[in-house]
Chain A
Amino acid sequence: NAGVTQTPKFQVLKTGQSMTLQCAQDMNHEYMSWYRQDPGMGLRLIHYSVGAGITDQGEVPNGYNVSRSTTEDFPLRLLSAAPSQTSVYFCASSYRRGGQSQQFFGPGTRLTVL
């Protein structure tokens, strides 16, 4: 199993450009989520999904769109990038069974917006 994969690893954008951060998992997990990590802020939840076709907003959703057409994929779209979106982005998939839960994180995408 590849686990959770993210592409690209690094990206530089200019203000106003759009792009999609890709995330895929091969563990058949029903839950997927996106976080951003900024210095001194920990990780903050952007959007999450409870299954194909179902998404919801997290703590910091503004400026980001998501969709979940399949169980495996959960792309994050920046429609018009802003310098405030410079961050490291982590995708995660998770399950909950028998009173236990675990999140599996991807390796991250480091995004710089100039």
Chain B
Amino acid sequence: AQSVTQPDIHITVSEGASLELRCNYSYGATPYLFWYVQSPGQGLQLLLKYFSGDTLVQGIKGFEAEFKRSQSSFNLRKPSVHWSDAAEYFCAVEDSSGGGADGLTFGKGTHLIIQP
């Protein structure tokens, strides 16, 4: 069974500083990979996704993520965070061979706090 690990439960970053959120997955092949963001009391918003090809993917709100097959990682980055980036971030994987029917496996999330 596939699994996703987000090692950092909480991360605090100063406004304007760079950000990297870590995500590691366990899966037999290359899965489909996603990052979602959730603001307090809100639903999930897709930031970016990776299926194949270029291992550096660009998303919305200035985020990017890099897929590293050798490390089974899909880390999320942003060069300069804004106070509005404070939220919960979830990494998720999907079985690329499963036809898309059996849903996503999520990590437990990383809570991002922005210091002024």
Contact = CB atoms under 8 A, between A and B. Distances in A.
Interface of A: 30-31, 33, 35, 40-45, 48-50, 56, 58, 90, 92, 94-96, 99-103, 105-108
A33 B99 CA distance: 14
Contacts of A105: 43-44
Interface stretch (B11-19, B59-67, B78-86, B106-114): B106-114
B51 A43 contact: no
A102 B46 contact: yes
B106 A48 contact: no
Contacts of A40: 9, 108-109
Contact of B105 (A45, A49, A50, A106): A45
Interface string B36-54: 0000000110100101100
A43 B43 CA distance: 12
Given A40-B9, A96-B99, A103 B43 contact: no
A6 to B, nearest CB: 9
Nearest to A92: B103
Chain A interface secondary structure, helix, strand, loop or mixed?
strand
Interface of B: 4, 9, 32, 34, 43-44, 46, 49, 51-52, 90, 92, 94, 99-109
A106 B106 contact: no
Contact of A43 (B46, B49, B102, B104): B104
Nearest to A6: B43
A103 to B, nearest CB: 6
Nearest to A48: B103
A95 to B, nearest CB: 7
Contacts of A102: 46, 49
Closest 6 CB pairs of A and B: A96-B100, A42-B106, A50-B101, A42-B108, A33-B103, A43-B106
Contact of A58 (B4, B92, B103): B103
A45 B108 CA distance: 13
A45 B3 CA distance: 13
A111 to B, nearest CB: 15
